[in-house]
Amino acid sequence: DGSTIARADERFMMLTRKDIVGKDLAGSLPADELSRLQECLQRAKLEPVLLPTTLLSQTGARIKASLFVVGNRIESHEAGLGQGAPAYLIGIRTTSRMEGNELLSTELREEHAERLMAQS
């Protein structure tokens, strides 16, 4: 269905989980968002799509985010997904405003800051 994650940067893995590569993106969204994700991926084959949604962290924290999804019209066998499989580039913007206690269990430690700086 095209929602298997082939590559992810360190920041996305910090939001969701370290072993996200090779997993289905749907595993990082609440169950009630899955049909919206599938519809978004179908529409993104024709044109870029912006999907306001919620990501789930490994601890279950809900993170409000917007996914900017662009469909790749080039064969995706280079990414190990098989010839003809759909591929997408997904940019993620998280909101800076927290509602309630959504991320109290998540803290940015020095090791995280060092990884982010190394990505720059």
Domain residue spans in the chain?
A: 10-119
Report pLDDT for 84.
60
Closest CA to 6 of 27, 20, 26: 20
Tell which CATH architecture fits domain 10-119: 2-Layer Sandwich (3.30)
DSSP character at residue 6: S
Can you list the pairs that 104-109 forms with residues at least 24 positions away whose Cβ atoms lie under 8 Å? 104/61, 105/59, 105/61, 106/57, 106/59, 106/61
Global pTM reads: 0.65
Q: Which residues pair with 116 in a beta bridge?
A: none
Roughly how many angstroms between the first and final C-alpha of the chain, as a whole number?
32
- Per-residue pLDDT tens digits for 2-24: 678 888 888 888 888 778 888 88
Report whether pLDDT(103) > 80: no
The DSSP line for 39-53 is HHHHHHTTS-EEEEE
Report pLDDT for 20.
86
- Per-residue pLDDT tens digits for 61-75: 888 999 999 987 654
